[in-house]
Amino acid sequence: MGFDPHEPQQHRMLAAALESARVSVGERWLKYFSLGGEVGEYEVEAYLEGLLSLPVLQRDLLAMAANELIDKFPQGHAPYSDELGSPDGESPRKEPGSGSQQRPESEE
């Protein structure tokens, strides 16, 4: 994929969220396009298959479209690029449900 080290993770999570919600190809592209997306349906499908790289803005528009489409399915979430960290070395944010939450220490 492109030069962004987080793009493969964002792509995988987006594809998984859309697949789990069973959003059709036409629905996802139409929603993305209505939000200002600039690439065609073919390119969106190629990106979701891992065959094409997209700029951050287009990936985030895809994530926004997906999140609006799957809003009624709380188990799915497509990450925005800033949720994964940045190329300059910042640590990425944890994926939903991937980390353990710290519990307050019990008093003895």
Q: How far is it, in rounded angstroms, from Cα 10 to Cα 64?
A: 12
Q: Note the pLDDT tens digit of each residue in 1-23.
A: 556 788 888 888 888 888 888 88
Share of the chain above pLDDT 90, in %: 30
Check whether 108 has a pLDDT greater than 90.
no
Provide the phi-psi class of 85: left if phi over 0, else alpha when psi is between -120 and 50, else beta: left
> pLDDT band for position 79 (50/70/90)?
confident
> pLDDT band for position 86 (50/70/90)?
low
Residue 91: exposure state from Cβ atoms within 10 A (0-12, 13-18, ≥19): exposed
> pLDDT band for position 87 (50/70/90)?
low
- The model scores a pTM over 0.85: no
* Contact yes or no for 50/88 (Cβ under 8 A): no
The residue that leads in pLDDT, 77 or 39, is: 39
Q: How many helices (H) and strands (E) does the chain have?
A: 4, 0
